[in-house]
Structure 1
Amino acid sequence: MTEPAPALKEIFNAERLRHIAEQTAAVHAGFDRRRFLRLAGQDLDALSLMQRLRRVSQALHACLPDDYPRALEILQALAPRLNHRFVTLVLPDYVACHGLHDFDLSMQALRFFTPFGTSEYGVRPFLRQDLPRALAHLHAWTQDDDEHVRRLASEGARPRLPWSFHLDALRRDPAPAAQILERLKTDESLYVRKSVANHLNDIAKDNPEWLLQRLQGWSTQDPRTAWIVRHGLRTLIKRGERRALALVGAGEPAQVRLQALAVQPGRLKLGGRIALSLTLVSTCSRPQRLVIDYAIHYVKRDGTAAPKVFKLKTLELPAGATLTLTRTQRMQDFSTRRHHPGRHAIDLLVNGERLGGCEFTLLAG
């Protein structure tokens, strides 16, 4: 039998704490390893991943010099010695917790730390404390030679960055960070472009009108920009927003005939897989761009249902062509979604319009 994967929080286990202690002592002779291990390891089993990260940050602060610039020098020497990228997030967390009084030095430190892991969480308290001053640093980072630093300019300023607090000022008005996105919309790095697309998708959830108007001025002749626009509009496209579909070339209703749509098996238990299959036939005399999605209406605890839209395929369908697609999906519980028994409807969505449906039953137990 396959052993279960260790919990993510075990990134910070006792062995890792010893590694951090040893490497910190190697760059700072006065480091009290025993005290650090006692503080960092206290009630470790009861702590979540992010709580463990913060605990390590606090333990480092208790064992490093009170002089903040000197502590940063030690942490910068420590950064390349740590043996896990996620573990390096302790370093920008230290800056976020203890460096708000020395704004510019701290921002320089965050720029230094981000190539080792990411400073996207560490930079957010500075954005919340003084948005214009922090954005001035982020604007400069868009011109950096290091793709990690350029990505930080976009990722750190995301209005709704997961695992962090929302930047309410940018949720109300995304304009102050708009120039960052403008500068990065043709970035050569996919790593950076993914961040820009996710930033746009955050904006779409609070300011769809602002976003659609902004993107109308973006030329999609550059494939890098076209990719960002397509992925940045995914939430609005899933909602069937016609202007968003138009920006990706699929603003007109699809001229197709649904020849077949089925889901197998019709009944299954939690943990099983469904297989969705469909066949579309073009009824158009010219090629047309299709954005094909499907929505599963998940049954909730009270017996009602709520749809969740999944991307299936975006393509150019030739005139008169026949298209067959399949997709399998496992019905399993996640931290963000729990499944409940009952009849689940599936809708096929093409260019934002429902073309047909089918259903399956998730059995109890």
Structure 2
Amino acid sequence: MSEAPAIKEIFNLARLAHIADETCAVYSAFDRQGFMTRASQGLDGLSVMQRLNRVSQSLHAGLPQDYVAALGILYQLAPRLNSAFVSMILPEYVALYGQADFQRSMQALKFFTSFGSSEFAVRHFLRRDFARTIEVMHGWSLDENPHVRRLASEGCRPRLPWSVRLENLMIDPSPVLEILDNLKADDSLYVRKSVANHLNDITKDNPQWVLDQLEAWPLHNRHSAWIARHALRSLIKKGDARALTLMGAGDKALVTLTDLSVSPGSIGLGERIKLSFGLTSTSDKPQRLIIDYAIHYVKKSGGTSAKVFKLKTLELAPGQSVNIRREQQVRDFTTRVHYAGWHAVDVLINGQCLGSSGFDLSE
């Protein structure tokens, strides 16, 4: 099986040529060859975010140095780019060259976000002028466009992946409360995913703050309930009693676990394991079960570190039995390298370990 191309190859030579051609189409004076030379220099050694930044700088060298004139060209370029991720070079341009023109730059970020996202770019303005930027984002959270509403949440996530952290919000998330409250029942799944991820970010530093907010939410609303369920995933993986209670699974699971199996018992890297077990209710009442499993990965030092994976949530009637199965490939990621040895696998029901098995990973 061939490996998937690295994400940084979004900005390969063919894509640079596309950007150059489309810019020439809206601005005939654009120096195509100069852009290609600057944008491609040392390309192999650059990460995807470094490439994005390099392309924006290379565009700047070939556009009018007057910011307003350059923006007019970029507004025309936005709908011509053939990748939503690539279009993020446009808000990056705003972050690099528009911080002295705040109002115009906020309007530009709002416009460009519909073509990809301005989530990375707006953070530069938050770090430079937090109060004024967060006030604009409060307004975005009420916009009729779901892309703009999502930007209001995604742009101020305290721990947004691939971007700088917003340390002030990691300490005190209260400035974003109005934004999250405006979006707590949003009818767009695109927006709801961002709100859930934002709240999950906050649980890493201020878990009780998130629980305080969610306990006041209208969780009878299916959109709010969806956000809360996904927002609490990290706390539920940790077995947090308050989060489990909020999700209706705070009581100890009254079940018996049977036929727990992880097969095969020995695998090589890149192969798959199959986890299976049965559950039978011993309760005389219906009960909600949040079912997870943890794999204790062997570390380079020889110790282990557990990672919890979501499995499913279900309602189990009195005396009811269910069979649970899950397959998972064991392979290296940029964020996790595997080492040989015994990997214990725990079954977690409502935050409690009810049984363990495992597999041996060979060299």
TM-score interval w.r.t. the shorter chain?
over 0.9
SS at match of 1:116: coil
Alpha-carbon deviations, 1:118-143, whole Å to 9, x = none? 11001101111111111111111111
**Which residue in the other structure is 2:178 paired with?**
179
Q: Does 1:168 align with 2:157?
A: no
> What is the CA distance between 1:3 and its match in structure 2?
4.3
**Which residue in the other structure is 1:268 paired with?**
267
> What is the CA distance between 1:114 and its match in structure 2?
0.5
Alpha-carbon deviations, 1:254-273, whole Å to 9, x = none? 11111221100111111110
Instruction: Tell me which amino acid in the other structure corresponds to 1:225.
Output: S
**Which residue in the other structure is 1:202 paired with?**
201
**Which residue in the other structure is 1:316 paired with?**
315
2-structure distance, mates of 1:38, 1:187: 45
Alpha-carbon deviations, 1:43-90, whole Å to 9, x = none? 222222111111110101111111111111111110001111111010
Instruction: Tell me which amino acid in the other structure corresponds to 1:133.
Output: R
Instruction: Tell me which amino acid in the other structure corresponds to 1:205.
Output: K
**Which residue in the other structure is 2:117 paired with?**
118
Instruction: Tell me which amino acid in the other structure corresponds to 2:253.
Output: A
Identity %: 58
Q: Give me the CA root mean square deviation.
A: 1.0
**Which residue in the other structure is 1:142 paired with?**
141
**Which residue in the other structure is 1:16 paired with?**
15
2-structure distance, mates of 1:123, 1:228: 24
Instruction: Tell me which amino acid in the other structure corresponds to 1:173.
Output: D
1-structure distance, mates of 2:3, 2:165: 33
- Count of matched residue pairs: 363
> What is the CA distance between 1:226 and its match in structure 2?
0.3
2-structure distance, mates of 1:307, 1:270: 18
**Which residue in the other structure is 1:337 paired with?**
336
**Which residue in the other structure is 2:276 paired with?**
277
Check conservation: 1:288, 1:318, Cα contact below 8 A.
yes
Alignment of 1:56-95 (within 5 A): 56-95=55-94
Deviates further, 201-210 or 4-13: 4-13
**Which residue in the other structure is 1:328 paired with?**
327
Check conservation: 1:256, 1:282, Cα contact below 8 A.
yes
**Which residue in the other structure is 2:351 paired with?**
352
> What is the CA distance between 1:307 and its match in structure 2?
0.3
1-structure distance, mates of 2:355, 2:4: 40
Instruction: Tell me which amino acid in the other structure corresponds to 2:154.
Output: E
SS at match of 2:267: strand
SS at match of 1:159: coil
Give the TM-score normalised by the residue count of structure 2: 0.98
> What is the CA distance between 1:9 and its match in structure 2?
1.7
Check conservation: 1:260, 1:280, Cα contact below 8 A.
no
**Contiguous gaps of at least 5 residues in structure 2:** none
> What is the CA distance between 1:42 and its match in structure 2?
1.2
Alpha-carbon deviations, 1:174-194, whole Å to 9, x = none? 000011110001000011000
**Which residue in the other structure is 1:304 paired with?**
303
**Which residue in the other structure is 1:289 paired with?**
288
Give the TM-score normalised by the residue count of structure 1: 0.98
Instruction: Tell me which amino acid in the other structure corresponds to 2:240.
Output: E
> What is the CA distance between 1:4 and its match in structure 2?
3.6
2-structure distance, mates of 1:295, 1:191: 29
1-structure distance, mates of 2:218, 2:25: 52
**Which residue in the other structure is 1:158 paired with?**
157
